[in-house]
Amino acid sequence: MQKFLKYTFWTLVIIFVLSIIGCNGCQKQNDTINIPQNISYQEDTEIYVANKAVVDKIVNSFPSPVEVAAIIKDLDVPFSKKYLVSPDIIENYDTNVKKALGLGVLSADLGYLNVYERTTLIIQYLSSIKRLADDLRIGQFFDFQSLKRLATSNDNLDSLIFLSLNSFMQMNQYLQQNARGNLSLLMITGVWIESLYLMTQVYKDRPDDKLKELIGDQKTLFTILYQGLKLYKGDEYFDKILHEFQKLDKIYSQITITYEKVKPEKNLQKNDSIPVYQQEETSVIHMSDQQLKDLINITEQVRNKLINL
């Protein structure tokens, strides 16, 4: 699958998880992560390394929610709040694990709002995200006032991107180093499931081949994320997520992705007459209409269950 064009990150969508998840090309299906066996919930060095490997894999695989939303907007799909979780849902999150997952979900929805330039709603979602960050004791890395100001204008884009990226990298590093990598992984899980839900719901309303390909291509990231979640098998909250992800695994196991080399493109370097050939690889998604229909239905069920755990 060709890389999607990067869209301008003119809002706060790349705070937290979003800032590290860019479309840097898809990893092949046979990429694996060595998961330690018979581990306890308390994170040790081995889990830390494996968890970081999961995050690094995701960084190199996932198109950001802003990108997904921009593709949706390009399809002339009108804005609709029905695709989004209410920012008031945070009142139901009474544990850190729920708050971490919810932070990821709301961040994904923020990407959608940013692309459609819904300023009033953006502020509401930012406020909820800030509350969750404070509750998780990572709010100190979050310059809410500056980010809010930058997010509601088209100015100072470079400053917004730098501030957002820097904020998340500090939060992620802090969580990992303080044996809270489970929360970092849950934020990413929240972003991913909400983004997949958005893709599938829009496809149901407005079928499109590009969107279908993107949905199928999520199998690569799902496989990596599923491995990461298994690191915490035995914890009650993670076991509930794994139970739901088993449903997605059953569907994605039926979908295959093959990789084909495309004809090299000849490019001339600047001030150079020597042609440079760039060999690229494209992925081909093998997914039937019935498999896609099943995936849409299961994604809706899983997403709705996760945000209400």
Among 75, 73, 68, 58, which Cα is nearest to 21's? Answer: 58
Residue 234: is its pLDDT beyond 80?
A: yes
Q: How far apart are CA 197 and CA 151, in angstroms?
A: 24
Q: What number is the average pLDDT over the span 156-167? A: 55
Q: What number is the average pLDDT over the span 159-187? A: 68
Q: How far apart are CA 283 and CA 261, in angstroms?
A: 9
Residue 93: is its pLDDT beyond 70?
A: yes
Question: Taking a C-beta distance cutoff of 8 angstroms, is the pair 244, 309 a contact?
Answer: no
Which residues, including other chains, have CB under 8 Å from residue 85's CB and lie 6 or more apart? Answer: 105, 106, 109, 194, 307
Residue 284: is its pLDDT beyond 80?
A: yes
Residue 261: is its pLDDT beyond 60?
A: yes
Q: How far apart are CA 145 and CA 15, in angstroms?
A: 13
Scan for tokens 């100001």, then name that residue: 149
At 235 the three-state DSSP class reads strand
Question: Taking a C-beta distance cutoff of 8 angstroms, is the pair 172, 84 a contact?
Answer: no
Give the lowest-confidence range in 18-27, 113-122, 133-142, 223-232. Answer: 18-27
Angle value at C-alpha 57, between 265 and 106, nearest 5 degrees: 105
DSSP state of 233: B
Residue 53: half-sphere exposure toward Cβ, Cα within 13 Å: 18
Q: What number is the average pLDDT over the span 130-155? A: 75
Residue 75: is its pLDDT beyond 70?
A: yes
Instruction: List phi, psi (to 5°) of 96.
Output: -65, -40
Confidence category of residue 97, pLDDT binned at 50, 70, 90: very high
Question: Taking a C-beta distance cutoff of 8 angstroms, is the pair 189, 60 a contact?
Answer: no
pLDDT score at 270: 46
Instruction: List phi, psi (to 5°) of 278.
Output: -110, 115
Q: How far apart are CA 208 and CA 222, in angstroms?
A: 21
Q: What number is the average pLDDT over the span 72-82? A: 89
pLDDT score at 34: 47
Provide the residue type at 237 as one letter. Answer: Y
Neighbours of 302 (CB within 10 A): 21
pLDDT score at 110: 81
Among 224, 246, 243, which Cα is nearest to 235's? Answer: 243
Give the lowest-confidence range in 35-39, 88-92, 97-101, 224-228. Answer: 35-39
Helix (H) / strand (E) element for 248: namely: helix 236-252
pLDDT score at 23: 34
What is the separation of C-alpha 285 from the centre of its chain, rounded to a whole number of angstroms?
20
Residue 150: is its pLDDT beyond 80?
A: no
pLDDT score at 1: 40
Scan for tokens 């992620």, then name that residue: 172
Q: How far apart are CA 71 and CA 68, in angstroms?
A: 5
Confidence category of residue 301, pLDDT binned at 50, 70, 90: very high
pLDDT score at 66: 67
Average pLDDT score, the chain: 74
Q: What number is the average pLDDT over the span 231-241? A: 92
Cross-strand partners of 284: 258
pLDDT score at 266: 54
